[in-house]
Amino acid sequence: MKKSAINLSFAFLGGLVLLFIVAPLLGMVFSTPLSTLFSTAQETEVQQSIWLTIWISMASTLVFSILAIPLAYLLARYSFPLKNMVLGIIDLPIVIPHSAAGIALLGFISRDTVIGKAAGAFGFNLIGSPVAIALAMAFVSIPFLINAAREGFASVPVRLEKAALNLGASPARVFFTISLPLAWRSIVTGLVMMFARGMSEFGAVVIVAYHPMVAPVLIFDRFNAFGLKYARPAALLFILVSLVVFITIRLLAVKRKKDA
Amino acid sequence: MKKSAINLSFAFLGGLVLLFIVAPLLGMVFSTPLSTLFSTAQETEVQQSIWLTIWISMASTLVFSILAIPLAYLLARYSFPLKNMVLGIIDLPIVIPHSAAGIALLGFISRDTVIGKAAGAFGFNLIGSPVAIALAMAFVSIPFLINAAREGFASVPVRLEKAALNLGASPARVFFTISLPLAWRSIVTGLVMMFARGMSEFGAVVIVAYHPMVAPVLIFDRFNAFGLKYARPAALLFILVSLVVFITIRLLAVKRKKDA
Amino acid sequence: HSNQQTNTITIFHAGSLAMPIKAIADSFKVLHPDVTFRLEAAGSVECARKITEFNRQCDIMASADYKIIDELLIPDYADWNVLFSGNEMSLVHTKQSRHANDINGDNWYEILAKPEVSYGRSDPNADPCGYRTLLTLQLAEQHYQKPGLAKAIAEKDNRFIRPKEVDLIALLESGAIDYIFLYRSVAVQHGLEYVTLPDEINLGNPSLSDLYSGVHLRIRGAAVGDSLTLYGEPMVYGITIPSNASNREMAMEYLKLFLHPHKGLKTIEQMGMIPLNPLIIHNEDGMDKDLREELTGHP
Amino acid sequence: MLKLTNISKRWEGFTLKDITLTVGKGDYFILLGPSGAGKSVLLEVIAGLIAPDGGDITLNDANITHLKIQERDIGLVFQDLALFPHLNVHHNIGYPLYRKGYKSREVNRRVVELAQELGISHLLKRFPPTLSGGEQQRVALARTLALNPSLLLLDEPLSSLDVERKVEIRRLLRDLNRKGQTIVHVTHDYEEAIALGNRIAIINNGAIEQIGSPQEVFGKPTSSFVAGFGGVRNFFKISISKSEDSKFMKARVNENLSFYLQSDDEGNGYAMIPENEIVITHDKPGTETLNTFPGTVIDIYPHRFGCEVVVDIGEKIFAIMASTQLQAIHASIGSKVWVSFQENSTIFIKSS
Amino acid sequence: MLKLTNISKRWEGFTLKDITLTVGKGDYFILLGPSGAGKSVLLEVIAGLIAPDGGDITLNDANITHLKIQERDIGLVFQDLALFPHLNVHHNIGYPLYRKGYKSREVNRRVVELAQELGISHLLKRFPPTLSGGEQQRVALARTLALNPSLLLLDEPLSSLDVERKVEIRRLLRDLNRKGQTIVHVTHDYEEAIALGNRIAIINNGAIEQIGSPQEVFGKPTSSFVAGFGGVRNFFKISISKSEDSKFMKARVNENLSFYLQSDDEGNGYAMIPENEIVITHDKPGTETLNTFPGTVIDIYPHRFGCEVVVDIGEKIFAIMASTQLQAIHASIGSKVWVSFQENSTIFIKSS
Ligand SMILES: Nc1ncnc2c1ncn2[C@@H]1O[C@H](COP(=O)(O)OP(=O)(O)OP(=O)(O)O)[C@@H](O)[C@H]1O
Ligand SMILES: Nc1ncnc2c1ncn2[C@@H]1O[C@H](COP(=O)(O)OP(=O)(O)OP(=O)(O)O)[C@@H](O)[C@H]1O
Ligand SMILES: [Mg+2]
Ligand SMILES: [Mg+2]
């Protein structure tokens, strides 16, 4: 099977895709001297913004996953009128122009709104806060998690869930011991996609919070002020750190599943 | 099962997500008078750019799916050294700052490169062409298709593929009659996500092609030149058209599967 | 929280002002160590829209075109406008650009016309740098007495029109094009090579404003379908403190430093711009007394 | 204990028709029926996995027709097992135990105990997809036994097991039943049915055909289908009438075939002729019986007790004979032979 | 036709050990073994689904050990069926036909024909997940038969079928075999084995224990395991020696148990005592046989021919007796009884 004609042609086609992805990255690597990369890595501003991006996106992904995963489960299990409409709506944040999303969110959290006032009462201004960044990231990225998790749940046989119910488990226990673990791989992929998409968001974030600077804003800012030469090492650093984070997440997620 | 406590709480949590997605959209709807929406819909510039966005993104999704789906299959079926690394790399385009992606692509298709020269020989300049737009869209969106398709293939039992081989089918036939149809749902979701993500791309597209204007560029341009009042109806129109397209794709895709 | 706010200065500024504003902010911090800056770079129009449409607060707004402040902010969002520096159009390139070794202020239009050479410019409808480029070309047509020059060059390489100058720099630095029309200051700040254009065409000399106003073009107006006629004039930067600034006091302190002829304006000059001397103040009456005194020397 | 009243379920192509039956406390109730009869559907209706279109289910006097699956206290061993692929054998078996407030040591003890009883102790760390068919079946059984439900439904729980294992696990089930466990057991295996069941229901085509003790059901089968299940191959629907030329009654199968049998009754009913009572000879036998028929051998195959021979005498007749005997009369497929059997070897069951 | 030489496969917990066997052209080869013996693994190795760690597979004189699955021309009916859930029954059965350059009408004809033979014509439009267990099994069988492979591997293909269907499909398989189809068939069913097989291999614990004709294997089982499969429950490993006090030989089972049998041989071997030769009495019987033992009844259960009684006399002894007889001696579990059997009812097989 390994060496069949179709696998070879698949490997060829797949190789093209990998090339398409890798070549621009390599282009960046080659045009960035190692020394610049190192010195950029030592700037606290850069470190802070990468760190900020990662943790806000991760927090936003985790918090919203508590809402999104149940929704995905319901969508995988039940059909109802206008379900296709709901699915379409869930895809919309992907397509909404990012700055439009930012503007819409701004209307939500600015000082004059209910939410903004509530936050203000606690002496907290949402605009320019990590919360605003997290919301912007979540808005543009949540469909990826919902879709992946939905497909994951859809591929779990209902029969196994019913068998678990028959063994006296409550629906909650069935969800946590059967449905969730069996959909786990897809959910992890969804989480990674949501997390990554959140990290990369610029258009929506820059509207609700230019400061504190997440990495994409920092890179834009450097590009704007000093040009490509200065933006590139920061971007490359951000990409490399992301790569490490992704590999780690996948390793941990797979390991966790094996342990379970 | 329908009315169990966990399902109710899931419905509540899911409702929150839907609200989070829908509210900003409704905000846009309510602040856009219907008459403005209609008159915007009649501008040929707007019509053309929405149409352009849809067909380029669709073409780019379809063309690249021919490369990406085989790759996804290989990734779902085989393990090899550094596989986690490859998976991480595939996630990278999500996280790369969009304009960095655009700049990197420029290095690919500008006059001096092999590709650029080849195109030039046919009197064709890639920069500013729909091809460049398609490449930029594909670069930022292809991970979503690869990931979704990979999960889809991973949930197809290898045993069924082996059974088909045992029945004398060639690996190619097995792929097209067993693996692909069984992974079809996930692949459609991946295609929709890639398609949608491509449509929404601004940062990378604007670097390789400002004209012809895709919808996100047009919306930015209107915002820049005339302000929110003029950008909003165009954005809303784009979103509504997208919604219709998504619903149609899902309906067709499911139908096609039933027919098969 | 008020403490935090009084110690923060938020500045919305045009992308091309990023470097001088940062540099001067750094000197300011030496004097006021407890102040933090929040600098937000964007297109000049975008900066104004953040204030007018998004109701965002900022303490200082600096525009690459003083008219944006005059037209979009005054009177509802700001009271006055300080015109503090000029700039000039130049033809920017890199060492790798085709004919980079031969080009100079006299033959540039011939080189741009060569088929193997590509050049980029900003969108005249979206970016002041864009219409200024077209005005420069018209002036060049007159200056060199080459009828049809402006049209020929403007119609060449339409693919490389971009909405913002930074996008153009990306095209240039990645080798996709050889030349771009850009403000000289940006070239200096980004360490790019540039061809200095004659004063008669570079829109940088305030004393030639009569000459400049001899050319004009139409761009689109304030609403879809409208259009607007623009006349050539020297390019001038403007800066203001919006009415809703939350840290007005510190903002004024910063402006005093920024507009100080031997301090801020010196830095600005080092960065390739041409500071105005004296400053021009629109709506001087609306200006806070303290600041007016400092800038004009009279109350 | 369990009472089904007029349970029905309709699909295109199959209908479960007004199933009414009662399973008493402590019963070992066997459900027999051909493939596609609706056995699994019925069990899944009882367990609540399939909602019936109509009818009522009562368990211990409570109406459970609309009760949730997890509240029914009914264990079901699925025909397709439905093992959890991501849990090892230990956790599969322990699955129903955790929620009962068992301590983890308690759970452990019980799992190990069950695994021992079912001969799968060595597999506790393994995951279901790597197990053999019979191993999987025993894991599924152990898992449901761990639940200790008030009613146990078994859907062909021994079909993939070898003879020795079958005997062992039958003993286990019998013991369980003796201790009071009520069991409903679907099987295709006649021996299993009579070895285990105290009541048997025959289901065919979505409807119950017969319910009773094993003796009643197999002693007086009311259809060739039931008879076939009991291993009686020669089963005919007949109408009998007094014959003029004999002390025996004349049994009419169809236009072409009638035979004689001993009976005091007249009317319609069924006749069964045990296979080993059929004699096959090469020449026409002497006249000690009226039932002699010429026929053609249409099939021969080996059998536990020699050979089974199928002869067409207008209807198919099945006979068991020793291989040596068969050779003696030179019979092979296509041979013309004579079939005979005694009038009093035939069992007649009158239709009710 | 098929030749396996030293095939081995090692997993933690299970090893297939040096399997060597030959299946001749036209053979109906039965593979018998307990659950977990390695039967399915062996079939999957032959079909190429599992790569063996060592050894060679030859089919029609070609070494196919490393040949791709789809090029082996070996059909396998999986124990777990592996039906394609997204294809209806028609397309499942037709799946192997399309590639052969059949015309679509041809395919149609063949599918309908197979469906008819297997009694699933009414299901052609249905999708596998909605079918009953037995229906699915027949679809899987039909699908592999459609392939018309040079070697057919069947992994318990009839386990979910009712008696009538079993008989029908057995006939179908027998016919196929008669027309020259070579078949390797895994089953747990003794009757199926002797009704179909012309050669039988016994596999246990990953190794072949015995190969031969049904007569050889069941007539001279070389282990209690094989004997158990043949339905012979009383099977002992013994060593025999001349006895001083009798004309019979003395067979020693273990320290506690010896009995007498008729034999001319001495040495080690196996003894089989048919279940129906065992007599159970309440009182010690007269001395017509030396083989009388006191014992305790440890189990009783219904059996096709009455009851099966298990008595512990140091070893377990299995007897079949009529229920009335059992009642007559008032035996129940725990009763003390006497077991006796004739010296010449015992069959002795010398170890080779
Ligand atoms: N979801 C369904 N839709 C349509 N028909 C169905 C469905 N489920 C079962 N059936 C049909 O109902 C009939 C009874 O199925 P069931 O599984 O109860 O048979 P069974 O008696 O268990 O047979 P077997 O012994 O083969 O397992 C079958 O013909 C089956 O095809
Ligand atoms: N992938 C695997 N990894 C580890 N052990 C395995 C694997 N596959 C099978 N086994 C083990 O090999 C042994 C033989 O399995 P096999 O499926 O051949 O049994 P079988 O003879 O078919 O039994 P049954 O009659 O129960 O189907 C079993 O103990 C099984 O657990
Ligand atoms: Mg069934
Ligand atoms: Mg098996």
Report domain extents, chain E: 2-229, 235-350
pLDDT: which is higher, A21 or B113: A21
Other residues' Cβ atoms within 10 Å of the Cβ of residue D44:
22
Distance, CA of D253 to CA of D275 (rounded, Å): 18
Which pLDDT score is estimated for C1?
39
Closest by CA position to B220, among listed C41, A221, A103: A103
- A residues 75-114 lying closer than 8 A (beta carbon) to C: 103, 106, 110, 112
pLDDT: which is higher, D171 or B190: B190
Contacting partners of chain E (3+ CB pairs under 8 A): A, B, D
Distance, CA of C293 to CA of D277 (rounded, Å): 131
D134 within ligand 2 shell (Cβ under 6 A) = yes
CB within 8 Å of E241: residues ≥ 6 apart: E249, E250, E252, E266
Distance, CA of C265 to CA of C84 (rounded, Å): 8
- B residues 199-218 lying closer than 8 A (beta carbon) to D: none
H-run or E-run covering B250: helix B228-259
Give the Å distance between the CA of D120 and the centre of ligand 2: 12
Q: Helix (H) and strand (E) counts for chain A?
A: 13, 0
Which pLDDT score is estimated for C6?
62
Which pLDDT score is estimated for A116?
77
Which residues of chain C have a pLDDT value below 70? 1-6, 299
Which pLDDT score is estimated for D73?
92
D68: buried, middle or exposed (CB in 10 Å: 19+, 13-18, 0-12)?
middle
Nearest chain A residue to B161, by CA: A1
SS3 state of residue A51: helix
Cα–Cα distances in angstroms (integers) from residue B25 to residues A108, A180, B140, in the given order = 11, 31, 24
Give the Å distance between the CA of D27 and the centre of ligand 3: 21
Distance, CA of E236 to CA of E351 (rounded, Å): 12
Q: What is the pLDDT of residues B118-129, one digit of tens each?
A: 877 777 778 888
pLDDT: which is higher, E207 or B253: E207
E264 near E350, Cβ under 8 Å? no
Distance, CA of D14 to CA of D6 (rounded, Å): 16
Please give the average per-residue pLDDT across B192-221, as a whole number.
92
SS3 state of residue D275: helix
Which pLDDT score is estimated for D265?
79
Which pLDDT score is estimated for B2?
52
CA distance B102 to chain C (A): 9
Please determine, for the modelled complex, whether the ipTM score is greater than 0.90: no
* Closest ligand 2 atom number to CA of residue E203: 21
Which pLDDT score is estimated for D346?
82
Which pLDDT score is estimated for D304?
63
Q: Is the pLDDT of residue D101 over 80?
A: no
Q: Is A224 within 8 Å of C15 when comparing Cβ atoms?
A: yes
Which pLDDT score is estimated for E83?
96
Please give the average per-residue pLDDT across D208-233, as a whole number.
78
DSSP strand pairing (D316-321 vs D336-340): unpaired
Q: Is the pLDDT of residue A178 over 90?
A: yes
Residues of B in contact with D69 (CB under 8 A): 1
Give the Å distance between the CA of E183 and the centre of ligand 4: 17
The least confident of B16-30, B180-194, D18-32 is: B16-30
Which pLDDT score is estimated for C3?
45
Give the Å distance between the CA of D13 and the centre of ligand 1: 10
Distance, CA of B68 to CA of B88 (rounded, Å): 15
Give the Å distance between the CA of E34 and the centre of ligand 3: 23
Which pLDDT score is estimated for E200?
92
Domain ranges of chain A: 1-30, 37-259
Q: Specify the amino acid at residue E226.
A: V
D7: buried, middle or exposed (CB in 10 Å: 19+, 13-18, 0-12)?
buried
Q: Shortest CB distance from A67 goes to which of B13, B147, B155?
A: B13
Nearest chain B residue to A156, by CA: B155
Q: Shortest CB distance from D160 goes to which of E35, E131, E164?
A: E35
Distance, CA of A87 to CA of A75 (rounded, Å): 8
pLDDT band at D307 (very low <50, low <70, confident <90, very high): confident
Closest by CA position to D232, among listed D244, D221, D242, D216: D221
Nearest chain A residue to B236, by CA: A96
Q: Is the pLDDT of residue A27 over 70?
A: yes
CATH number for the domain running over A37-259: 1.10.3720.10
Distance, CA of A232 to CA of C238 (rounded, Å): 31
CA–CA–CA angle D336, D338, D340 (5° rounding): 160
- Select, from the ranges C141-155, E242-256, E303-317, the one with the highest average predicted confidence (pLDDT): C141-155
Contacting partners of chain D (3+ CB pairs under 8 A): A, B, E
Give the Å distance between the CA of D155 and the centre of ligand 3: 7
CA distance A163 to chain D (A): 7
CA–CA–CA angle C73, C75, C80 (5° rounding): 80
Q: What is the pLDDT of residues B128-160, one digit of tens each?
A: 889 999 999 999 999 999 999 999 999 999 999
Interface contact A39, partner D, CB < 8 A: no
Which pLDDT score is estimated for D100?
64
Q: Is the pLDDT of residue E304 over 70?
A: no
Which residue is closest in CA terms to ligand 2's atom 2?
Answer: D130
> Over pLDDT 70: what percentage of chain A?
96
Give the Å distance between the CA of D197 and the centre of ligand 3: 18
**DSSP calls for D183-233:** EEEEES-HHHHHHH-SEEEEEETTEEEEEE-HHHHHHS-SSHHHHHHTT--
Please give the average per-residue pLDDT across E227-247, as a whole number.
79
CA distance B21 to chain A (A): 7
Interface contact C163, partner A, CB < 8 A: no
Q: Shortest CB distance from C54 goes to which of A106, A225, A226?
A: A106
Q: What is the pLDDT of residues D251-278, one digit of tens each?
A: 888 888 889 888 877 888 888 887 777 8
pTM as predicted: 0.90
Q: What sign does the CA torsion over E158, E160, E166, E172 have?
A: negative
Which tokens in the block code for residue E172?
């179908």
Nearest chain C residue to A124, by CA: C1
SS3 state of residue E45: helix
Interface contact A227, partner C, CB < 8 A: yes
Which pLDDT score is estimated for D13?
87
Which residue is closest in CA terms to ligand 1's atom 2?
Answer: E130
CATH architecture designation of domain E2-229: 3-Layer(aba) Sandwich (3.40)
Nearest chain A residue to E69, by CA: A1
Q: What is the pLDDT of residues C235-262, one digit of tens each?
A: 899 999 999 898 999 999 999 999 999 9
CATH number for the domain running over D235-350: 2.40.50.100
Other residues' Cβ atoms within 10 Å of the Cβ of residue E3:
16
Give the position of tokens 């302000």. Answer: B227
Q: Is the pLDDT of residue E226 over 80?
A: no
Closest by CA position to D79, among listed E136, E133, E138: E133
B33: buried, middle or exposed (CB in 10 Å: 19+, 13-18, 0-12)?
exposed
Interface contact D68, partner B, CB < 8 A: yes
What average pLDDT is seen over chain A? 90
Which pLDDT score is estimated for B1?
43
Tally the residues of chain D. 352
Give the position of tokens 């049904």. Answer: E214
DSSP strand pairing (C274-282 vs D2-11): unpaired
Q: What is the pLDDT of residues E81-121, one digit of tens each?
A: 999 999 999 999 999 998 767 788 889 999 999 999 999 99
Please give the average per-residue pLDDT across D54-74, as a whole number.
94
> Over pLDDT 70: what percentage of chain E?
97
Q: Is the pLDDT of residue B42 over 50?
A: yes
Q: Is C40 within 8 Å of A110 when comparing Cβ atoms?
A: no
Other residues' Cβ atoms within 10 Å of the Cβ of residue C35:
17
Distance, CA of B203 to CA of B189 (rounded, Å): 24
A–B CB contacts, 8 A cutoff, strictly below: 294
Interface contact D69, partner A, CB < 8 A: yes
Interface contact E167, partner B, CB < 8 A: no
Distance, CA of D286 to CA of E22 (rounded, Å): 50
DSSP strand pairing (C179-183 vs C119-122): parallel
Closest by CA position to D203, among listed D34, D76, D50, D55: D34
Pocket test residue of D14, D45, D81, D153 for ligand 1, highest count of atoms within 8 A of CB: D14
Which residue is closest in CA terms to ligand 2's atom 31?
Answer: D131
Residues of A in contact with C15 (CB under 8 A): 224-225
E134 within ligand 1 shell (Cβ under 6 A) = yes
Q: Shortest CB distance from A225 goes to which of C1, C18, C173?
A: C18
What average pLDDT is seen over chain B? 90
Please give the average per-residue pLDDT across B101-117, as a whole number.
80
